[in-house]
Amino acid sequence: MKVLITTDLFRSTINGVVTSVLNLERELKEQGHEVRILTVSDTGKAYQEGNVWYLRSVPSGIYPGVRIPVSRGKEYVRELIAWKPDVVHSQCEFCTFGYGRRIARETGAAFVHTFHTLYEQYTKYIPIGKHLGAAALAGWMRYRLRAADVCIAPTEKVERTLLGYGIENSIAVIPTGIRLERFGRTADQEERERFRSEWGIAPGAKVVLNLGRLGFEKRIDELLRGWKQADIPKEQAVLLVAGGGPARESLERWAQELGLAEQVKFCGMIEPSGTPAFYQMADLFVCASTSETQGLTYAEALASGLPLLCRADSCLKGVLEPGANGYAYEEVDDFVNYLKELLGRPDLKSTMGAHSRKLSQAFGTKAFGEAVLKLYRKETRKKEAWRNESSAVYQKSEASFQEWNWAGYANAKRLP
């Protein structure tokens, strides 16, 4: 099967969309399918590298790292149309969506779209965002996505969002997978000591980890408030905030103002190859975000055998079982109480961590790839059936026309 993936974000960006694309590409290739990717260049120039076609672009000025094409990419589009993909799988609603829609229309390919982002959480980054009403957003999404044959929702939370927009497309809920084998290893004592020395963590102190992009919508300020309220000495535990993003500077400044400079450590952007080590060194994973659609960091924490302490959110279904592998909190006071319990009982790391590993098995890339491929086959069969039906209708209409035409000719011959 030939699959074209279109995405506005690719390797130069580290986020859930890119991770999902890379994992899907890997699984499809391992199953023997041919994959090509059309994306936006991060150099300002158009070029092709391996199986990836990059469109010339400029910075968007809306969100750090987001770029927009400044070329219609006619040559690349023609080349990909000539390739005749069986499936076009769009990953973003904006720039590359239109390219994917055109290629699917010209080739008759099944057009699949994955909805990754809850835009209500990001309107602060758009100049007119605060004036953009829910009805306008829903109307635009209905208009934009009407071309897709089917939409993939990574969680039931996203499915409800799409239904709330009034989307009439078919919707398939398929959790985005992670490479479980990358996170299952246990670090040895030497690695732990080296890691603690690098980040200035006292011997015996517990490590509480928040890992992800530092956007304002991630509510990391709530974690800082809770940490301050818990009044945990650095000898007992430290909070590692790993990741980069637009909120980092203000968060570091606020941590200083709260007097948490020694208890909270900002680690900066972590390369994907280095993220498993952070989970392996941690004793607890915390998250205050309600903007997650895929929750890949949740799955990574599960696979790493960590208890979870997260703000209650519908995307935690199947991820967090309260009391079994962690807790979900509603208020900062609850966060503080659960945090003290989890840090004060070392036995919970073992029992809750084991349950987390068990739950993680549902989030492997193999299951993800198989589910997406099953959907591809279903949609391509529907396209083929539609083409056959259309061809039959055309042939029947043509035959009826010819019969009518010859009958008219014969009658004309009999006229005086």
The more confidently predicted of residues 191 and 100 is 100
The more confidently predicted of residues 373 and 204 is 373
CB 137 within 8 A of CB 115: no
Calculate mean pLDDT across residues 71-77. 83
Q: What is the pLDDT of residue 413?
A: 46
Q: How confident is the model at residue 331 (pLDDT cuts 50, 70, 90)?
A: very high
CA distance 179 to 369: 11
Paired residues of 208 in beta bridges: 239, 284
Q: What is the pLDDT of residue 279?
A: 95
Angle between helices 156-165 and 134-145 (to 10 degrees): 100
* 217-261 pLDDT, tens digit each: 899 999 999 999 999 999 999 999 999 989 999 999 999 999 999
Calculate mean pLDDT across residues 259-288. 93
Q: How confident is the model at residue 56 (pLDDT cuts 50, 70, 90)?
A: confident
Q: What is the pLDDT of residue 271?
A: 85
Model confidence at 34: pLDDT above 80: yes
Q: What is the dihedral of CA 103, 107, 108, 113, to 10 degrees?
A: -30
CA distance 152 to 265: 37
Paired residues of 210 in beta bridges: 241
Q: What is the pLDDT of residue 374?
A: 97
Coil vs helix vs strand at 110: strand
Q: What is the pLDDT of residue 310?
A: 97
Q: How confident is the model at residue 399 (pLDDT cuts 50, 70, 90)?
A: low
Task: Supply 392's token pair.
Answer: 């039959």
The more confidently predicted of residues 285 and 234 is 285
* Best CA proximity match to 378, nearest among 170, 105, 205: 170
Model confidence at 411: pLDDT above 60: no
Model confidence at 394: pLDDT above 60: no
Q: How confident is the model at residue 35 (pLDDT cuts 50, 70, 90)?
A: very high
* pLDDT, averaged across the chain: 87
pTM value is 0.79
Per DSSP (E only), the strands in 212-366 are 237-242, 264-268, 284-287, 308-311, 326-329
CA distance 23 to 160: 25
**Which of 211-220, 298-307, 402-411 is least confident?**
402-411
Contacts of 231 (CB under 8 A, 6+ apart): none
Per DSSP (E only), the strands in 193-289 are 206-211, 237-242, 264-268, 284-287
Calculate mean pLDDT across residues 27-55. 92
Q: One-letter amino acid identity for 264?
A: V
What is the Cα Rg of the chain in Å? 26
Residue 371 burial class via C-beta count within 10 angstroms: exposed 0-12, middle 13-18, buried 19 and up:
middle
Task: Supply 18's token pair.
Answer: 């890119």
Highest mean pLDDT among 32-41, 113-122, 172-181: 32-41
**Which of 159-163, 191-195, 410-414 is least confident?**
410-414
Q: How confident is the model at residue 128 (pLDDT cuts 50, 70, 90)?
A: very low
Q: How confident is the model at residue 77 (pLDDT cuts 50, 70, 90)?
A: very high
CA distance 412 to 375: 55
Q: What is the pLDDT of residue 314?
A: 87
Q: How confident is the model at residue 37 (pLDDT cuts 50, 70, 90)?
A: very high
CA distance 94 to 89: 14
